[in-house]
Amino acid sequence: MRSEAPKRLFGRRIGHRLSKRQTQLWDELLPRLSIDIECDADRPLSTTFDHPVREVWLEIGFGGGEHLAWQAQQHPDIGFVGVEPFINGVAKLLSEIEERQIRNIKIHPGDARDLVPLLAETSIARAFVLFPDPWPKKRHHKRRLICADFLEQLGRVMKPEAELRVATDISDYARTMLLAVARSSYFEWCPSQPSDWRDRPADWPSTRYEQKALNAGRHCTYFRFRRKAIRAH
């Protein structure tokens, strides 16, 4: 039984005005790539793509889409679902998709908290949440995406042994993430050495948010959590 999505924390937002070409892509290309959360909810995600895919990966908050586009090009046999509420970020990804002729990306231009509760159980083989909004003010910490409740929702839709990749440049948020995972009945963290969270893996391309953090002198943390084979009770 699907649970009711939590109250949305933000709606679509736009920064600078879209270019004429971006507006055209928004009007013409996005409708063909969008996940219809009402009509597609009862369909296997893999069948929503134009060609057969081996499995489906999910990126929540893809920003400008550079990581998502890179992963999609590296793995043409995998279907990707990208979630991003900010209009400018979606427009940038649409430009990348058109320019590089990428055919294995679907987009939800909205809040992940609307989409994830509607996904089928064990339908996602890998998920990415890279540099989510840290909501740095203490009174806003409850708005942070990576929390116990959201991990329960995400754990339900991820396959056993699936990997959840999370990154942040805020040390306080990194601690919050680890505490949430420690309390999770779905996920576990199995580091073997400090480089496991200090160094970004080769198959994890840099993003503009990471570069911004590094340029500001902040250290980044790269977590790889594993979805437990059997949910703990």
Catalytic residues: 133
Residue 83 parent element (H or E)? strand 79-83
Q: Collapse the DSSP code of 94 into the 3-class scheme (helix H, G, I; strand E, B; otherwise coil) and give the result.
A: helix
For tokens 């948020």, the residue is 173
Long-range Cβ contact pairs of 133-137 (< 8 A, separation 24 or more) = 133/61, 134/168, 134/169, 134/170, 134/172, 134/173, 136/170, 136/172
For tokens 């013409």, the residue is 28
Residue 175 and residue 144 in contact, taking contact as beta carbons nearer than 8 Å: no
Extract the tokens encoding 188: 């576990």
Distance (Å, whole) CA 197 – CA 51: 35
